[in-house]
Structures are given as structure tokens and as C-alpha cells.
Amino acid sequence: MENILTSADLQAVWLTLRLASITTILLLLIATPLAWWLSHSRKWYKGPVSALVALPLVLPPTVLGFYLLLLMGPHGPVGELTKAMHLGALPFTFAGLVIGSVLFSLPFAVQPIQNAFESIGRRPLEVAATLRAGAWDRFYSVALPLARPGFYTAIILAFAHTVGEFGVVLMLGGNIPGETRVLSVAIYSHVEAVEYGAAHLLAGGMVLFSFIVLLSLYLAGGKLAKDVR
Amino acid sequence: MSEIRAHFALQLDGFELDASFIAPAVGVTALFGPSGSGKTTLLRCIAGLERATGMLSMNGEVWQDDTIFVPTHKRPLGFVFQEASLFPHLSVRVNLEYGYKRIPPASRRVQLDQVVEWLGLSRLIERGDPAKLSGGERQRVAIGRALLTSPRILLMDEPLSALDTTSKQEILPYLERLHRELEIPVLYVSHALDEVARLADHLVLLQQGRVIASGALGETLARLDLPTAHFDDAGVVIEAAVAQQDETYHLTRLDFAGGSLWVGKVKQPLGSRVRARVLARDVSIALRQSHGTSITNILAARIVEIRDEGSDKVMVRMTVGESYVLMSRITRRSRDLLGLTVGMEVFAQVKSVALMS
């Protein structure tokens, strides 16, 4: 195994897990308030915002990657900004990948959480208000625990979706070992180089890993969903 | 100052609420009306759950006016919804303590033990999961949960209407007990006249988003100009005292300001107050005090008002004793045969009396 799977491959595995974890955490932080707003707002621009959030569902990842590349590149508006902040250009960096992944997986995190908030309805929150709970208190003590199954789904989907991402990475990050060379790209490189043994190990490992993660999260989610009831 | 003053105006799609009332901040005030009359919306406005223009003051304390809007969680009220709405992720005990924990310890006038005792909750707490309770039990927990916030007013939105008859019968005694023992005013939304007659002291009548009458329960129910007079179970409520027990025939005499009524034997001790209901359809009218009748309760009465009801019936309002009112629904033909007119002295024959408590 040592001779087939290089340290570069292991690095790719580690990088992928790191990317997926960071992306998932950021997504939870972004998607929760966004989903809350979408599930409670009656503003006219709720529709356009929903459509915008759902856009990555229908766009080919290369399209998203292409525009992000232009935006964040040295001549794009975001690129100008990051240069002015002495951060340099974001494409071909890990940070750039994180931004791309967050945008790419946004609907996968927002929609389950939004559905969960919507299915709670207003009543439990109204009950909490009549029991002296202020807005934040209502959110933490009622909305969050009741929406828990939605959060599990969001975590699973965001994580898995990021692990499986390819198009955005290729457009935005290229294939820099230790920086942007994630699993999917590493597998692609092995296949290009006709190293089917290594490709098999990584691909098969990914299948197994994904299955185990999904299974354990579903089992945990099912048990916790029962606790909720 | 001990009163509730409310005025709300609100446009909801296809519905307009424009309701004002003043009610005493003691006892139970029923917001009564058909479905769609705006009674629930009015109650939600009072709780601050619905944002309407208007004003609301509770014992002189302003909860809403042109500049002030106290948010729901800062209003010292308890709210019981139509469905119990217990938090499914919390145990029965934690549900009960949810509001209790959120008020300052100094203002906790109601304690858990008290509420558990009042509402018979000890066995329900042991069961833990709210999903294991029946509808009536859940509603009892919800009432307890609301009371544990030591509210200065309790708002109840048709708390019985989602329950089946058995659960209703199970929960009514608890509500009556709260009515007797609790010193906080209650606003009670209902569309069931029997519930209102049983529990309320004051009546606010709503129709199509407007308050069409407001007054003491007995007087308001005895008014012939209101829609309540046309209900099949229209009738008057009598507050009486247990005066005599007849062991031979198992009867009890109730004394009230208008005279006495014999009813089937009641458990309550002599002197205790009971509420009885005499339906208009159970009262007939005779010109002379007939002796050849099986009807026990015959009261001397004077006709004060006669109103047509539909094409075949009339509603007759009579006073018994000093000023006590009875209602009788008879056919138009009977009115003409007996030649009944306002001011006539007659005898009201009461066929049945429904004891409410």
C-alpha cells in the first residue's frame, strides 16, 4: 500500500477532510440565519434571494468556478479588494477553495434547515413568547432543538457534497499539492497518468468512507429525532 | 381602575376587526361569537401576538397605544391555545417550568406544587413525555404551564374545542375550580353557549369583527335583542344557594333572588352557591296556577317583553320576584290563544333546570 499510495495522496485525503469540515462549519453559520430569514420573511425580495441561493443546484460547477475565478482573480473586484488588504489573490489557494465550496454547497445547507424551521410553524414560538421568552431565547430553546433533524441533514449534505466536489475546484484551485489538490482531483490525476491502482484505492476508500459517514449520521440522526419526539 | 379596556382595528385578508370593550378585571369574561366573528383575533391582539392599531390597558397599565407596544414576552399574561401546544422536545415537567424559570423569582406567586395539586398533574409529570398524554391531559398541563408564569390575566382561546366530549367533561371541573379559587381575571374565547353559561361572569359578544354587546352574563343572556336569544339552547343563568335537602324524594331546593326551584339532589352542602341554567324552551306559560300538573317549579311572573322569533315562535321575557329574568320560547299560536301581552301576570312553569356546578 505504501508504494501505491504516496504521501501526496494522503495529503490530498487530509486536505479534502479539512476543506469539507471548514466548509460545513462555515455553512452552518451562514445558512442558519439565512434559513431563518427565508422561513419567516414576508418581504418581496424573499423570492429572488431564494432563487439566488438555489442557483448552484442547477448551474454546472464549472460555470460557478469560472465566475468565481474572474471575481477573485487579480483583476476582479474581490481580487482588487484582497490585494488591497495584502491578502493576495484567492484563486489557487485553500481559502479560495473554501469560498467556492461554501457557495457551491449553500443550497444543500440552507434548504433542509429552512424546511425544518418552516415545519415548526409559528405556534411553538408564540407559545414561548407567552411564556416570557424573548426572541433569542425562543430561537435557542424552541426553534433550534425542534429543527435538529434539519441540521443533521444539512451537515450530511454539505459535508458530502464538498467531499465530492470537482468542477469548482478544478476551475478555481487547480492541482497544487497540499494547497488545492483534493481527493477528486488526485483521483483524476492518477487516472490521467494511468495509475489505476492508486486511483482504485482512493476512489474505493472514498466510497467506503462516504458510506460510513452517511450511515453513522443517519443512525445518529434517527435516534436523536426520536429523542426530540 | 380594575378593568380591561381594549380597542383594536385590524384588516386581515377579507376580514375586518374593529372591536372595543371594557370588562371588569375580575372573574371570567367570555369573548363569545360565531366562528369568523374575530374573537380569537381579538384575543391574539390582547396578547400582542397580532399587531393591530388600537389601545389596550390592563388595570390602568398601558400595554398598547399609539406609541407603546409591549411585546408579548413582556406582558404578564398566561395564554392557553386551542391545541395544548406542549413543546414536544421537553418533558412534561420542563414544559411546566418553562415560563416559571423565565420570571424573576420575586414575582413567582404560583408554585409548581400548587399547580400540580390544582390540576391533578402529579401522575402526568411522572409519565415524562408529552406525547404520552391524552388531549385533555395535555391541555391541563398547558393551563398549568401558563399559570406558573404567575400571570395577571389568563387568556384562553377555546381551550376545550379541540377535545372530545369525555376530555371536555374531564377538564371542566378544573376550569370551574380555577374560576372559584384563582384571583386572576380570565378572558375566555368560546363559541359554545353552554361553556360560557357555565364558566363566565361577564360576556362580550362579537359579530363580524365588532362587539355588539358587553355586560354581566345573566343580564346579557336574558336580552332578547341579541343573537344569543335565538340559539336553540338560549336561556338564563341563575345564581342560587342550596337551601334545603329533601331526603324522601331526593330533591334539593335552590333559593335565588326570584324565588325557589326544586332540582334533583345535589352533593353541595347547604348554603353553597351553585349556578343553574333554565333554557327558554323548558319554560312554559300558564295564566292560572294549575294544580293538576306534574311540573314542580311554578313561579309567579310578569311579562316584560315579547319578540317574534321566526314565523312560528315567540320569545317571552318575564321577571320573577323583584327583577329576576326568565325566558320562555312558545309558539305564536299559544301567545294568541292565551292573549299574552306585556305587563300581564302569569305563571312560569319550569320543566327542567340544568345545574352547571
Of 3.30.413.10, 2.40.50.100, 3.40.30.10, 3.40.50.1980, which CATH number belongs to B235-355?
2.40.50.100
Under an 8 A CB cutoff, do A131 and B89 touch? no
Q: Which H/E stretch holds residue A169?
A: helix A167-172
Q: Does B81 touch chain A (CB under 8 A)?
A: yes
Q: Which domains does chain A have, with CATH numbers?
A: 23-228 (1.10.3720.10)
Cβ–Cβ < 8 Å for B304, B324? no
Q: Which residues of B touch A138 (CB under 8 A)?
A: 73
Nearest by CB to B131, from A142, A146, A229: name it.
A229
pLDDT given at position B169: 81
Any idea which residue has 379541540 for its cell? B162
One CATH from 3.40.50.300, 3.40.140.10, 3.50.50.100, 3.40.190.10 for B3-223: 3.40.50.300
Instruction: Give the C-alpha separation, A104 to A73, whole Å.
Output: 18
Residue B39, pLDDT > 50, answer yes
Whole-angstrom distance, CA of residue A113 vs CA of residue B313: 61
Which residues make Cβ contacts (< 8 Å) with residue B25, sequence separation at least 6? Answer: B2, B3, B4, B58, B59, B153, B185
Which residue in A126, A133, A145 is closest to B102 by CB distance?
A133
Q: Is the pLDDT of residue A155 over 80?
A: yes
Q: Which residues of chain A lie closer than 8 angstroms to B49, CB-CB?
A: 126, 129-130
Helix axes A183-192 and A7-40, enclosed angle (nearest 10): 140
Q: Are A149 and A225 in contact (CB under 8 A)?
A: yes
Residue spans in chain B of domains classed CATH 3.40.50.300: 3-223
pLDDT band at B35 (very low <50, low <70, confident <90, very high): confident
Q: Where in chain B is the domain with CATH 2.40.50.100?
A: 235-355
Least confident of B112-116, B142-146, B171-175, B277-281: B171-175
Q: Which residue is closest to A122 within chain B, CA to CA? A: B49
Pairwise CB contact (< 8 Å): B102 & A145: no
Q: Which of B40, B69, B73 to mutate to test binding with chain A, by most A CBs within 10 Å of its CB?
A: B73
In chain A, what residues touch B83 (CB-CB under 8 Å)? 123
Q: Which residue has the cell 361572569?
A: B201
User: What span, in angstroms and rounded, lies between the C-alpha atoms of B325 and B258?
Assistant: 8
DSSP SS3 for A47: helix
- How much is the pLDDT for A225? 52
B12 beta partners: B15
Give the Cα separation of A116 and A110 in Å (integer). Answer: 10
Q: What is the tens place of the pLDDT at every residue in B280-336?
A: 999 999 998 877 788 889 999 999 999 999 889 999 999 998 778 899 999 999 999
Considering only CB atoms, which residues of chain A are within 8 Å of chain B? Answer: 123-124, 126-134, 137-138, 141-142, 145-146, 227-229
Residue of A nearest to B94 (CA): A141
**Which ipTM was obtained for this model?**
0.85
Contact A133/B81, CB-based, under 8 Å? no
Q: CB of B99 within 8 Å of any CB in chain A?
A: yes
- Taking only the tens place, the pLDDT of each residue in B7-33 is 999 998 888 999 999 999 888 999 999
Residues of B in contact with A225 (CB under 8 A): none
